Amino acid sequence: MNKAILKSLKMGGKGGKEQEYQKALGMEWERVSAPLWDFVNKNTGERLELKKQKNLQWLDPLKYGDADKSITMHLLCYDDKGPDLLLETTLGNLLDLMKLDNKFFKTISETKKKMQSYAYGKKMQMKMPVKIRDLEGSSGVRTVFKRKSNT
């Protein structure tokens, strides 16, 4: 991770910041269009998903129920000056921190099937809030970057 490049990125606005973020990740990371990750490391095969927000991130837990829990998650927070906090964890650890277990996924999957049968639509999403900044210091969460408060 090139922290000098990361600090200079303009992450505000809606969507599509993966190309900018790739500059900070480095040349070994390839941008991909996959449902659950944004980048693949060409050398190791590691998969990485980028989530960026000022703090409050909305996640669709139905999307992650059967997913590989080893996917690396980069949780990037930013303010008007640019990126100020980057946390790294695995998808499995993030789901654990959100208290989403197999029982939850089974229940919510059954609920979705019932709702779809009542014509609520096949593309229904359920979003759950995660305050990214509150995860700093949690078990299994590594602080990759934190901007000093006076810069």
40-80 pLDDT tens trace: 999 999 999 999 989 888 888 778 877 889 999 999 999 88
Residue 92 has pLDDT above 80, yes or no: yes
Separation of alpha carbons 104 and 119, rounded Å: 23
Average pLDDT over residues 30-39: 92
CA proximity to 68, closest of 41, 94, 50: 94
Separation of alpha carbons 68 and 128, rounded Å: 19
Average pLDDT over residues 97-118: 72
Kindly report the pTM of this predicted structure: 0.84
